């Protein structure tokens, strides 16, 4: 069964940040600078977590996987924003 997750991260090092971004982009939709929505089956989640755990520094970085429910019953995604409007990211994020 596939589930939807919000994956968000706070990475202390720019090099690791770029690597984490690339891994997350392989598994989900980029919603905001450090936020992805990922539709994963159990194998994909384990694979993604393994790749990320090999990339981050456990003493300095944090990743959160927030389960938002089964994909089949999710319905249409509705995103509202306060402040600046939500804009769908279609391009890559670059950290300098």
pLDDT, one tens digit per residue, over 53-77 is 999 999 999 999 999 988 887 667 6
Average pLDDT, the chain: 87
Q: What is the average pLDDT across 4-10?
A: 95
32-56 residue pLDDT tens: 899 999 999 999 999 999 999 999 9
pLDDT at residue 92, rounded to an integer: 53
Please tell me the pTM assigned to this model: 0.81
CB environment 19-29: b (16+ within 10 A), e (fewer):
bbbebbeebbe
Query: According to the model, what pLDDT value does residue 11 have?
Result: 97
pLDDT class of 81 with cuts at 50, 70, 90:
confident
Q: How many residues does the chain have?
A: 96
- Angle of the 42-55 helix axis to the 14-27 helix axis, nearest 10: 170
Fold of the 3-71 domain: Alpha-Beta Plaits (3.30.70)
């Amino acid at each position: 069964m596939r589930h939807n997750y919000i994956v968000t991260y706070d990475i202390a090092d720019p090099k690791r940040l770029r690597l984490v971004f690339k891994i997350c982009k392989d598994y989900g939709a980029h919603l905001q600078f450090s936020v992805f929505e990922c539709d994963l089956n159990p194998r994909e989640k384990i694979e993604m977590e393994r790749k990320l755990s090999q990339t981050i520094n456990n003493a300095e970085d944090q990743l959160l996987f927030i389960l938002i429910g089964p994909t089949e019953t999710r319905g249409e995604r509705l995103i509202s924003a306060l402040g600046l409007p939500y804009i769908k990211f279609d391009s890559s994020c670059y950290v300098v």
